[in-house]
Structure 1
Amino acid sequence: MHLPSVQRKKITAAFDGGRMTSDGGVMLLAAIEASLGIAARLAPLITDPRNPALVTHSVADILRARMLAIACGYEDGDDLDHLRTDPGFKLACGRLPDSGRDLCSQPTVSRLKSAPGLREVIGLTYAMVDLYCASYDRPPRAVTLDIDDTVDVVHGHQQLSLFNGHYDERCFLPIHVYDTVTLRPVAMLLQPGTTPSGIEVRNHLRRLVRRIRQHWPHTRLTIRDDGHYGRPEVMAWYEANAVDYILGLPGNKVLTRLVEPAADDVRVRRAEAQAPVVRRYTEARYGAKSWQCERRVAARIEATTKGLDIRVVVTNIVGGGAEWLYDILYYARGQAGNLIKLHKTQLASDRTSCRSPLANQVRLVLHTGAFWLMLRLHDAIPKPLALACAEFTTLRMRLIKIGARIAETASRVRIAFAAAHPEGALFASLARCLHPAGP
């Protein structure tokens, strides 16, 4: 190829640079996956009906290749038809770039996603909860879990996809659970496109808490939900099982009457001071008709030039004032929305395009595995550096999407990165940090 000349020098180009990859940083993710053992944890839970004598790609190899591809930005299984010969991905999956067998193709991945039955899919989902618990060196004294769902618009006739009037779309509403203090994912559960009932939410939480307490029997659990998870069945179950909770509570006339003295004081103070905003907190005891008892509610009352805004939460936590309950404890659940955005928009976990809900749940598990890989890469970056606060897309562009020439000889494999790479020193530091100790 002939390109425009520069300073009277002719420029030619050709695709003859040798065995190269555009994802040289996948080796960092491979080191993280080896330390976490995600593929090794998930593979035994999937029954493999193939003849062992004829197997070329083990279940663990298929899962590992798919999670690495997702973390590198390849959200579709079709991409593996091209990545299966990529020298970087072959090395990351434990195969030599030239003499090793190619990786699995898209049909192999699709068959694996559709193979697990209901019990196996439940086991895979529990395995991600086990991975979260194993991420702590020892059981913590207390953890706070945030639960929320998110709309996942579908474009076909997938089973369990239903029309949701709020979003005006045919969709799923998968439930996401995070430990937002450490940014760690706990569980992802595919749900139909309608808001779950109180009994359904209670059953999901019962299984989740039971699994966590198998690992941490003495850890104090606090769960934060928004309004449509604050059902009577759920709150009663929390109280009966020693789980702390703080839930959003939709407003009504009775709650408005309870906080009216404080609300009137806020309105008067703002009007007298001509201030743009005046905020106050108050608490009371409140019992709805569907509740079996009165519970503690805390309200944030904010008066502005546009009117009065009242937000209420209900909790079984005894200590702390109303301001602490709302502004410190409950307000922090907004971080869960940021983590859901990372999961959906930067790892494409909303690509639930399989017809079967079981296969779509397997996809959620694999995307959560990719989330763990990117999160560990994020956590390994020293805090003083700017990339320590970067999102997954930035990390991918700066540390993973790196061109490299890979050469295999009789005794070694050499990876040559660009000498002008701006994050070369950080990359080398991470490689040393993430490489397992040994000879």
Structure 2
Amino acid sequence: MAVATGCHTQFGFGFQRKLTVAFDGGEITSDAGLLLVREFDERLGLTAALREAVSETRDRRYVTHDLLALLRQRVYQIAAGYEDANDAGFLRADPTLQTVAQRLGTPLASQPTLSRFENAAPWDTMRRLNRVLRQWFTRHAVSRRQPPAELVLDIDSTDDPTHGQQELSFFNGHYDEHMYHPLLVFADGYLLGARLRPGDVGGATHLRPLLEPIVAHLRGALPTTAIALRADGGFCNPDLLDYAEQAGLTYAIGMPPNPKLDAAVALSRLHAEVTYERTGHPVRWFTSLPYQTRSWRRPRRVLAMIEHTAQGPNVRFVVTNRRGRAADIFAWYHQRGQAENFIKELKRDLAADRLSCHAFRANAFRLLLHALAYDLLQLFRLRVLAGTALARATLGTVRLRLLKLGARVVRSVRRWWFHLATGWPGQPLFLTVHRHLQRLRASP
């Protein structure tokens, strides 16, 4: 490779003609596909609803970036794969991000501005942002004219490794690391609520303050829809069971084994082992029994699944108030494993575990910014990508195939042109998505 001038670089790959690279292509963006998401956002008024979630406390005489522009900049940066506030340094002049933040031709906020914004967010803002997540769901993810017969809320938590001296970072023996312990509530892949917790808290800690507003909102918006809960054994505590029954919710929640339960299924476990040894085929049996712990106010129905395979015995317990055969309820309960895939998308594709602030409150705010970006793309996939090759793609694939789109930007007095590559193979998909957007309406 030889440098021809300060602006031109030549390559010698054995071509007969010279290959020269020059920094004279004008304004270029690598994320022009975000314009589709922004059009979707505008038609449904999604990020516009964030105005109600934030309160201006700054001296307006010194304000350059209004709060909605800051929120849009941060949410769209995360959606595009730029999860760090540091990324704002080289994205401030990006024409696509300026467009989606409605700051045409004006530099976006810098990293220090975004960091001050995140650290200044009060706890009440987190409550309001969770309310926006719920409103997005009932207004745009489900039909109120033909509401679902049942909504299943999958409750789960995950680890968020911490570094350095971050506030409320504690060692968690279960995960064997210093971490935060976010609490998440999903419905069909949509994130209905998120709360950041210290790293040393148990599974169900702070669950009711997150869950109760979700249930109340769903009851108000979808009064004919039944609500069910699914969760693993980390959430099996009397407070949650009592609340679910008082609120009229059905549930199936994993239950850790104990000597009394083990004794109750000991004979079935022995028979399963004998049957496996005689036939050589895996054995799976189900049974149901009334059971009451000392902390329960009354007996409840506990289901047991007894397996014996080449890997040995496996016994699982679930406490439930749902009607039906034990095998059917276990099959329904096992679908909660899909929540692990939702968390994988949230963390891997939306980098929700990238909570780098020192202050715990700022990181709690960051978690909700990632939740907003996740749900924005979830709704986009649900409402716009249906019927396309990306209808069932992961959010990371949607970003790679549709949003990561290079363009040359040309400005005139009346118009901004985003010139896309003539030979881009995704052109039919782009045009199909745009047609879907033209027909888009809010959920009836």
Q: TM-score, normalised by structure 2?
A: 0.91
- 1:310 to 2:323 alignment: no
What is the letter of the counterpart of residue 95 of structure 2? P
Q: What's the counterpart of residue 245 of structure 1?
A: 251
Alignment partner of 2:64 out of 56, 81, 86: 56
Q: Greater CA deviation, 84-93 or 15-24?
A: 84-93
What secondary structure, in the 3-state scheme, does the structure 1 residue paired with 2:243 have?
helix
What secondary structure, in the 3-state scheme, does the structure 2 residue paired with 1:300 have?
strand
What is the letter of the counterpart of residue 132 of structure 2? A
- Note closer, same or farther for the CA distance 1:381–1:121 as it changes in structure 2 (3 Å cut): closer
Q: Quote how far apart the aligned CAs of 1:9 are.
A: 0.8
Q: What's the counterpart of residue 334 of structure 1?
A: 337
Structure 1 residue runs without a partner (length 5+): none
Q: Aligned residues: percent identity?
A: 36
Cα distance between partner residues in 1 of 2:310 and 2:49: 56
- Note closer, same or farther for the CA distance 1:123–1:298 as it changes in structure 2 (3 Å cut): same
Give yes or no for contact 1:38–1:369 (8 Å, CA) kept in 2: no
Q: Quote how far apart the aligned CAs of 1:381 are.
A: 5.8
Q: What's the counterpart of residue 53 of structure 2?
A: 45
Count matched residues: 430
Q: What's the counterpart of residue 421 of structure 2?
A: 418
What is the letter of the counterpart of residue 399 of structure 2? R
Give yes or no for contact 2:157–2:203 (8 Å, CA) kept in 1: no
Q: What's the counterpart of residue 114 of structure 1?
A: 119
Q: What's the counterpart of residue 293 of structure 1?
A: 298
Q: Quote how far apart the aligned CAs of 1:90 are.
A: 1.6
Q: Quote how far apart the aligned CAs of 1:435 are.
A: 4.4
RMSD: 2.1
Cα distance between partner residues in 1 of 2:57 and 2:208: 36
Cα distance between partner residues in 2 of 1:75 and 1:427: 25
Cα distance between partner residues in 2 of 1:269 and 1:301: 12
Q: How does 1:152-231 map to 2 (within 5 A)?
A: 152-180=160-188, 183-196=189-202, 200-231=206-237
Cα distance between partner residues in 2 of 1:363 and 1:54: 24
Q: Greater CA deviation, 154-163 or 214-223?
A: 214-223
Give yes or no for contact 1:226–1:247 (8 Å, CA) kept in 2: yes
What is the letter of the counterpart of residue 314 of structure 1? V
Cα distance between partner residues in 2 of 1:202 and 1:373: 25
What is the letter of the counterpart of residue 129 of structure 1? R
Give yes or no for contact 1:39–1:61 (8 Å, CA) kept in 2: no
Q: What's the counterpart of residue 367 of structure 2?
A: 364
Give yes or no for contact 2:130–2:192 (8 Å, CA) kept in 1: no
What secondary structure, in the 3-state scheme, does the structure 2 residue paired with 1:104 have?
coil
Q: Quote how far apart the aligned CAs of 1:55 are.
A: 3.3
- Give CA deviations for 1:203-229 in whole Å, capped at 9, x if unaligned: 443343234334334431101111011
Q: Quote how far apart the aligned CAs of 1:436 are.
A: 7.1
Q: What's the counterpart of residue 325 of structure 1?
A: 329
Alignment partner of 2:34 out of 26, 33, 46: 26
Q: What's the counterpart of residue 261 of structure 2?
A: 255
Structure 2 residue runs without a partner (length 5+): 1-8
Cα distance between partner residues in 2 of 1:267 and 1:248: 23
- Note closer, same or farther for the CA distance 1:164–1:27 as it changes in structure 2 (3 Å cut): same
- Give CA deviations for 1:8-66 in whole Å, capped at 9, x if unaligned: 11111111111111111111121122234333222232221234455332111111111
- Give CA deviations for 1:214-261 in whole Å, capped at 9, x if unaligned: 433443110111101110121112112211111001112221222234
What secondary structure, in the 3-state scheme, does the structure 1 residue paired with 2:151 have?
strand
Give yes or no for contact 1:35–1:436 (8 Å, CA) kept in 2: no
What secondary structure, in the 3-state scheme, does the structure 1 residue paired with 2:391 have?
helix
